[in-house]
Amino acid sequence: MKGKSNLINIISARVLLSFSYGFLNILLSLYLHYIGYSFLQIGLILGTAIIINAVLAFLLSMFADHYGRKIVLIVLFVLFAISASLFLYTKDVILLSILSGLGGFTGSGGGPIGSGGPFGAIQTALITEFTERKDFSRILSIASVLGMLASSAGAFLVDGAEIAKINVYSLFYLAGILGIIGAAISLMLTDNKIRSKHLLPKVSWKNIIKLSIPTIPNGIGGGFVAPIFSLWFHLKFGLTSGQIGIIFGLSNLFTILMMYILPRFVTPSKELKTIIGTRIFSSVALILMAFTPLLLLTTALFVLRNGMQMGAIPIRQSFSMGIVDESERATSSGTTSMVRTGFSSISPPIAGNIISMNIDYPPLIGGVITMVDPFLYYFLFRKSFGQKR
């Protein structure tokens, strides 16, 4: 019963975070464009913010495993609340980068379901504390589905605010309030006293390194499009923030469907094959987005790409959590998140520069680079194909 109540609290706080990311990740690049920054400057701000969030993920995930996941999660929610509440009060490049990085709203860094960054690392590790190994994928799927529903609601909220003639950027204040509520919910979590004896991983470091390597092309390629997707749709098709919110919301709903279906058919022995297959599909869809001038077809490819890429996140989390020691799970997630987001920081400044030359270059380059990711998974873990774990 105690385990169930803790899972409810973890997932509830995650839902509030996902709801906030649902509108923050749409509004971020649009807001920076609105207050007058060039595409290159926007890329530099987002790139710097991603680096900050990556370092935060690595350091705080280690602290969480060594000193306690509950207290670090509470600190993260407080940082998120402060960052969101103060974001509209400055136009200073450095301050905007710091606030965006600390809050995790980097266009993609925290992820609409809290799967990336320090939040994702610690929340995922906490969920596995109260879950049997055979149920990892299913429970993580439930958490992700609920988070994605909340993210969809957050995306649709942008359109609702626009229709109601409310300043959409005032939603940053709403995110601040939800961050405080998330911290209060996290206060109620039970501390199982699971601790790593060392600050740096000692038991599972080899698997942590192997899990981190495929995230390099994933981060670099994803960095070309994920932080600027809302701005990309605006520039290519002239869409408003509300219309973009509808596209993002539909994408989230399809991702929910994939998150619900995949874990119910994928056993631990098939997790690796599923990761590889879905990532190949998503890379191809991203490449095809560069070649279609039609909004409807581009939207369909965007929805399919996100659904396959993000729909398999619970399976990827289950796979990675299953091959590392339980005392180092947050560190493992934090390390892979740091590598992925750290390398993704290279791309936004480049994408911001080349988007002014050709609007189709970011998805084309991003898709080609991310195609390396699934092949690295196969090369590094091919001995695990079909094995029961």
Count how many Cα atoms sit within 13 Å of the Cα of residue 267 in the half-sphere of its side chain: 7
Could you tell me the two tokens for 142?
């439930």
Q: pLDDT for 134-182, tens place per residue?
A: 788 788 888 888 888 888 889 889 989 999 999 999 999 999 999 999 9
Q: What are phi and psi of 203, to 5 degrees?
A: -90, -45
pLDDT at position 66 = 84
Lowest mean per-residue pLDDT among 56-60, 79-83, 100-104, 359-363: 56-60
pLDDT at position 112 = 42
Q: Quick one: how many helices (H) and strands (E) in the chain?
A: 18, 0
Instruction: Kindly tell me the burial class for residue 164, based on how many C-beta atoms sit within 10 Å of its own C-beta (0-12, 13-18, 19 or more).
Output: exposed
Count how many Cα atoms sit within 13 Å of the Cα of residue 263 in the half-sphere of its side chain: 27
Domains annotated for the chain, with CATH where assigned, are 2-384 (1.20.1250.20)
Q: pLDDT for 244-262, tens place per residue?
A: 888 988 888 898 888 888 8
Lowest mean per-residue pLDDT among 104-118, 159-173, 259-273: 104-118
Cα separation, 18 vs 364, in Å, equals 28
Instruction: Kindly tell me the burial class for residue 295, based on how many C-beta atoms sit within 10 Å of its own C-beta (0-12, 13-18, 19 or more).
Output: middle
- Say yes or no to pLDDT of 322 above 80: yes
Mean pLDDT highest for which of 142-151, 199-208, 274-283? 274-283
Cα separation, 351 vs 367, in Å, equals 13
Measure the CA dihedral 34/17/309/245, to 10°.
Answer: -40
pLDDT at position 107 = 64
Q: Which of 228, 258, 221 is nearest to 108 (CA)?
A: 228
Name the residue with higher pLDDT: 140 or 383: 140
Instruction: Kindly tell me the burial class for residue 161, based on how many C-beta atoms sit within 10 Å of its own C-beta (0-12, 13-18, 19 or more).
Output: buried
Residues in contact with 184: Cβ distance below 8 Å, sequence separation at least 6, in sequence order: none
- Say yes or no to pLDDT of 193 above 50: yes
Cβ 47 vs Cβ 345: under 8 Å: yes
CB atoms closer than 10 angstroms to residue 135 = 16
Cβ 212 vs Cβ 331: under 8 Å: no
pLDDT at position 110 = 45
CB atoms closer than 10 angstroms to residue 345 = 26
pLDDT at position 228 = 78
pLDDT at position 199 = 73
pLDDT at position 84 = 95
- Say yes or no to pLDDT of 35 above 80: yes
Count how many Cα atoms sit within 13 Å of the Cα of residue 274 in the half-sphere of its side chain: 25
Radius of gyration of the chain (CA): 19
Share of the chain above pLDDT 90, in %: 39
CB atoms closer than 10 angstroms to residue 157 = 21
Amino acid making up residue 235: L
Q: pLDDT for 212-234, tens place per residue?
A: 999 899 989 988 887 778 888 99
Cα separation, 99 vs 78, in Å, equals 12
Cα separation, 348 vs 32, in Å, equals 13
pLDDT at position 351 = 84
Measure the CA dihedral 48/52/58/59, to 10°.
Answer: 150
| Confidence tier at 202 by pLDDT (50, 70, 90) | confident
Could you tell me the two tokens for 313?
């996140």
Query: What average pLDDT does range 184-201 have in this prediction?
Result: 84
Cα separation, 377 vs 23, in Å, equals 32
State the chain's mean pLDDT as an integer.
86
Q: What is the DSSP string of 80-146?
A: HHHHHHHGGG---HHHHHHHHHHHT-SSSSS-TTS-SHHHHHHHHHHHHHTS-GGGHHHHHHHHHHH
The pTM (predicted TM-score) of the whole model is: 0.75
